């Protein structure tokens, strides 16, 4: 009689589905689900019983616009998830109180993992049941936990661009649709019941409130940045390749080089030589007058018909810096932009999306290389913020610093040190102020400043200061 009652109870639970919803679990079997034998039905619940892989619902793909409801509980310290769209789209399941993942709201229970934190922590203690809902329509994503809507945002809204960029490091494209629903086995017991879903009709409105997520503590941000670096390093297995194409003699090739559509500009401390790109013929130049104020020119870049070069008074103290500007057609010096208040020896400048990026180096001879920084400025050279290099890259600088830097292929920031034959690939941080280091590319040049030929994708101009040569290479 007890067995009959239990069977009838399971049947009642399995059939008690809200109107319009389809049950994904009958309470008795894993029909429609695929796994490696590490999932089972126990007491009318789906249980992860041993180490293995995910439990995947293969009977149907997830509708583009849908609502999914389910109950879940985890063991002490457990980290798991429900993946509902392709590319790491994850509703996080977590024992917040006993897992290190609970330190970061973007990885705590009900978060869209590594993207959007919930508004509050409403998860129940481990081994207690939680009630969850996922609602997606168009570009709106909502996560519910225990009767409260804790995530609600429209990923097409520009205010969430940083969150969208952050989750992209996991390979998540929030525009992707289709794929199968799957439950994660992350190495600890987790249970599910009452899984059901429905397709949301096209004429059923869903308006986003764009709820404000919980803030991420500073310590958690640092760990998150380290994780981003790991992901970028893994992505860098695509292996950049450097191929030297040709070299040109240029007496001024001592500090750096700039390039435009027709000419390259070899730069030394107080002089610039203008050379044809096709045959290396010197066709002009500029020389500082005796006793003039320009003493230590560094990297150069040609933008909008102007040649900009970083300048400092290195190794004099106190440190002074400026951006010097020329007309590349006439090689007439046009102006000096004083950036001394940023503190440091300016080695390179570049511009992206209307923002100037300027590297203020520190050398062991005059300061601390670890204090080298990239300062951002607006179009009127008003300071916006500061970025730092990751510690492992600073160690690469040794007693020196970053000599060259410029945005290049695939939107990455590329920099060089002072002597190493390496080009470092970096990315702007999704959060925080530490640049993400992706990889190092072996190159011909021994550090120093360089320039990308923006008329030819992936063509790099660098220098060999010992031989006074400009090196033309292909990087891809």
User: What is the full DSSP assignment across 96-142?
Assistant: GGGSGGGGSGGGSTTSBTTTB--SS--PPPTTS-EEEEEEEETTEEE
Query: Are 193 and 265 contained in the same domain?
Result: no
Query: Are 273 and 206 contained in the same domain?
Result: no
Domain that holds residue 254: 238-475
Residue 63 inside a domain? The answer is yes
DSSP state of 341: G
User: For residue range 168-210, what is the model confidence (pLDDT) as tens digits?
Assistant: 988 899 999 999 999 999 999 999 999 999 999 999 999 999 9
Three-state secondary-structure class, residue 395: helix
Residue 227 inside a domain? The answer is no
Domains in the chain: how many in total? 2
Cβ within 8 Å of residue 77, ≥6 positions away? 95, 98, 99, 126, 188
Evaluate if residue 14 carries a pLDDT over 90: no
Residue 170 inside a domain? The answer is yes
Query: Are 174 and 296 contained in the same domain?
Result: no
- Look at the chain and count its residues: 476
Cβ(259)–Cβ(453) below 8 Å: yes
Residue 59 inside a domain? The answer is yes
Residue 231 inside a domain? The answer is no
Q: How confident is the model at residue 16 (pLDDT cuts 50, 70, 90)?
A: low
Average pLDDT over the chain, rounded to whole?
93
CA angle 395, 397, 399 (to 5 degrees): 95
**CATH number of the domain bearing residue 404:** 2.120.10.30
Residue 230 inside a domain? The answer is no
Q: Which of 65-74, 224-233, 300-309, 454-463 has the lowest mean pLDDT?
A: 224-233
Integer Cα distance of 201 and 271 in angstroms: 69
Evaluate if residue 470 carries a pLDDT over 80: yes
Cβ(336)–Cβ(345) below 8 Å: no
Evaluate if residue 237 carries a pLDDT over 70: no
**CATH number of the domain bearing residue 157:** 2.60.120.560
Query: Are 461 and 347 contained in the same domain?
Result: yes
Query: Are 424 and 373 contained in the same domain?
Result: yes
Cβ(320)–Cβ(340) below 8 Å: yes
Query: Are 146 and 246 contained in the same domain?
Result: no
Evaluate if residue 431 carries a pLDDT over 90: no
Query: Are 192 and 115 contained in the same domain?
Result: yes
User: For residue range 243-266, what is the model confidence (pLDDT) as tens digits?
Assistant: 999 999 999 999 999 999 999 999
Tell me what pLDDT residue 10 has.
40
Residue 423 inside a domain? The answer is yes
């Amino acid at each position: 009689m007890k067995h009959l009652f239990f069977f009838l109870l399971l049947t009642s639970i399995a059939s008690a589905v809200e109107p319009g919803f389809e049950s994904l679990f009958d309470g008795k079997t894993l029909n429609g689900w695929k796994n490696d034998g590490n999932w089972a039905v126990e007491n009318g619940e789906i249980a992860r019983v041993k180490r293995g892989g995910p439990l995947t619902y293969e009977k149907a793909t997830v509708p583009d616009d849908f609502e999914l409801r389910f109950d879940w509980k985890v063991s002490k310290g457990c980290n798991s998830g429900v993946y509902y769209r392709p590319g790491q789209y994850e509703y996080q399941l977590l024992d917040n109180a006993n897992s290190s993942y609970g330190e970061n709201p973007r990885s705590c229970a009900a978060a869209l993992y590594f993207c959007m934190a919930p508004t509050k922590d409403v998860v129940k203690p481990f081994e207690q049941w939680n009630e969850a809902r996922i609602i997606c329509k168009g570009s709106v994503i909502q996560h519910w936990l225990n009767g409260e809507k804790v995530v609600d945002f429209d990923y097409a809204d520009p205010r969430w661009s940083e969150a969208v960029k952050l989750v992209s490091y996991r390979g998540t494209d929030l525009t992707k649709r289709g794929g199968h629903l799957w439950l994660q086995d992350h190495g600890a017991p987790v249970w599910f019941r009452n899984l059901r879903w429905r397709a949301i009709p096209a004429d059923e409105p869903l308006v986003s409130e764009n709820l404000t997520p919980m803030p991420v503590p500073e310590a958690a941000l640092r760990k998150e940045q380290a994780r981003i670096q790991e992901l970028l390093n893994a992505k860098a297995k695509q292996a950049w390749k450097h191929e030297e194409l040709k070299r040109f003699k240029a007496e001024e090739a001592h500090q750096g080089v700039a390039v435009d559509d027709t000419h390259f500009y070899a730069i030394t401390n107080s002089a610039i030589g203008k050379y044809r790109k096709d045959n290396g013929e010197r066709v002009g130049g500029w020389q500082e007058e005796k006793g003039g104020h320009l003493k230590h020119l560094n990297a150069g870049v040609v933008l909008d018909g102007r040649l900009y070069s970083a300048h400092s008074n290195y190794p004099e103290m106190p440190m002074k810096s400026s951006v010097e500007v020329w007309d590349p057609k006439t090689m007439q010096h046009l102006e000096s932009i004083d950036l001394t208040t940023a503190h440091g020896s300016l080695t390179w400048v570049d511009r992206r999306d209307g923002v100037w990026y300027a590297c203020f180096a520190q050398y062991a001879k005059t300061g601390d290389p670890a204090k080298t920084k990239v300062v951002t400025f607006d179009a009127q050279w008003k300071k916006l913020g500061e970025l730092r290099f990751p510690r492992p890259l600073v160690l690469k600088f040794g007693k020196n610093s970053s000599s060259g830097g410029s945005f290049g292929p695939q939107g990455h920031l590329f920099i060089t040190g002072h002597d190493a034959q390496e080009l470092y690939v970096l990315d702007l941080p999704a959060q925080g102020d530490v640049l993400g280091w992706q990889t190092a590319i072996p190159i011909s040049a021994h550090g120093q400043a360089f320039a990308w030929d923006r008329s030819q994708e992936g063509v790099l101009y660098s220098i060999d200061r010992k031989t006074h040569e400009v090196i033309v290479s292909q990087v891809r």
